[in-house]
Structure 1
Amino acid sequence: MVLGLLVKGLKNFKTRGLVADGLECVVGKVFDGSKSSFYIATGVSRGATIAFASGDKSVNYDTGTYSQGNIVTVGAFNKLKNNNIKLGNEETSFLLRMYGSPTKKSTMVSFEEPLGIKVIGSAANMTDFVAHSKKSLGIFGETKLVNLANVDKVKNNKIQNILGVLPVLKIFTKETGAGLYLPQLNDEKKEKDDYKYSIVVGDNEINDIQKNYSNIFVEGVKLSDKGIKSLISYSHGTYTYESAAIAESIGKKLEEYKVASPARKEKLEKEIKDLYIKDQVNKINLMIYGPPILNDSPFLLDEVNEYNKGEFVKKYGYGNYQDKGLPKNKEMNKSQKPYIRKDSTTVLDINEYLRNLRKGVDR
């Protein structure tokens, strides 16, 4: 549930606004490092390329990509693919889980063989305005979310799939994918497809959440109904670690459901509903038993940075980075040459760095 905790804590951090985020989304999709973008990638994707490529190959990675981070990752993965750099062994050494992704799952799956990774699944809530193409007029999301209520109405469109390999037009590519549900405080929207299988949070669960969050409030202060709702049913932020795998399982069962016999459909319907409930219970339990994190929880990012710093120092001490051109002595800033910043980093620089990195030699 670590991913869920981070999303829960960061979901309300200020962005540069819907327009700016939308432009970043479009630019990231147009220039994703693929052949259809003339191998051009954004700067942040090129930076992510180096981060992925310099990972310790003796370590197994279980990675989660959230929101626009999926677009950045696609750009990075294309750069790695273009340079024939693998991240894993196609089994368990590099697992990828997608959350609230504006990128369709099949794009990530296409990297499984060339990069040696395994995509576990893509989690998207039915009301997620970034992941669900229906909620953003097709500008952000590339996935038409399917559930038991609309499985016979939402179809894959071959033309929309083909757009994925065309310059510029690929931002309008679409495919179907399983949608997840969010817990609600009441059932007033129960008749709508996006809420049809939502569970209603009871008074006992609300009291347990209040008790957990009382640890960060002064005595007598409680979460409002709006505060509770923002925790358990934030469309683009309420996910747990297991959500991606659950969505994948639901998607496979929905595909089988389309062609199943009446008797088999009845059994599949029960199994799918159980998975809807399991995911929602996980989300509620995260708020009851997980650390009480709010968007303004102090030192949240600092703690994450300190943890990452500690992990780096530990690995450096073991010598894991000494073949990357870092000094062999553990003492920092001793007999080191001064760092001279370049005016800009070109695509050629990064490609050359990656080629050298594969040989275990820094530039």
Structure 2
Amino acid sequence: MLMLVNCSKCHAPLQLPPAANSIRCVLCQAITFVADPRYLPLAPSSSTHPLPPPSPYNHAPTGPPPQVHGRKRAVICGVSYKNTRYELNGCINDANCMKFLLVHRFNFPESSIITLTEEETDPYKRPTKRNIRMAMRWLVQGCQPGDSLVFHYSGHGSQQKDDNGDEVDGYDETLCPSDFESQGMIVDDEINATIVRPLPHGVKLHAIVDACHSGTVLDLPFLCKMNRKGRYAWEDHRPRTGMWKGTNGGEVISFSGCADDQTSADTSALSKITSTGAMTYSFIEAIERGHATTYGNMLNAMRSNIRNADEGGFVTSLITMLLTGGSLGGGLRQEPQLTANEAFDVYRKPFSI
């Protein structure tokens, strides 16, 4: 039986493995001690209150020792908000396409990928706030030098007023789990504390976030922007408060669907079968077309794909205008963003997962 306890320091929910009497928090590294597990209360009778199966998120994936390129582990979230007024068409397609890419292009073992979608029958594999939080903790738990980690999210993103002074624009970016209306959103401060700050030296994490207002959703210190000379340059987004938003020596690079003040789109407003997130589509398309050489080339290709993905975007915008009485914009008004925990030469650094 698994027992849910709160961290003694930061109060984050932790799941105690069987027979253990202590657990280290992946957020603040504090050790929480509990009573002798032999005297923990017994599980209620399954005949009256059946329990869900044990969570798979308590331990790193099983398998042989790390290979030359290290272990590969991924969390993929596709949130469709089915049967609600927030329903999205392409997010589950995004999750399936991203998993296929990681398995067949980058040799991620399927056993080392956790996919959260509303199509899953396992209650622990649905993209609720609690499950996404647990999956993020699983992603970084026990990581070692040489490991390659991926976090992919496709769903709604939003903003809320910053309450601790660490945002340049005064707003925190958020992810919206399937139960966000009742349980709340996942704020960028928590995402940073969970999957960025704990990363030790030698571990690399790539985040691919296909959501509105997602430019700095990992709260990384550096944002890549095009300068007046048409060259990419890094903006320093370290908080003036001095709060540390980097890693514990590891490397984090994030591709996101749009700037913090922009919204993201599906590639098709006309077909629920072929619809995918425009950003996820552009990311995969850039790799499949051989543009994933350097991070600069990758970003250029993604932005080009976004601009060209909707040559039918004029038609989509025209239909929208006719239905809503709005103005004709044309094209997809979003620009993929690149952020990182450390600035680097995007024109020279090879892209690798």
Which TM bucket (shorter chain)?
under 0.3
Q: Whose strand proportion is higher, 1 or 2?
A: 2
Tell me which structure has the larger Cα radius of gyration: 1
TM-score (norm 1): 0.23
Higher RCO (C-alpha 8 Å, min separation 6): 1
Q: Whose helix proportion is higher, 1 or 2?
A: 1
TM-score (norm 2): 0.23
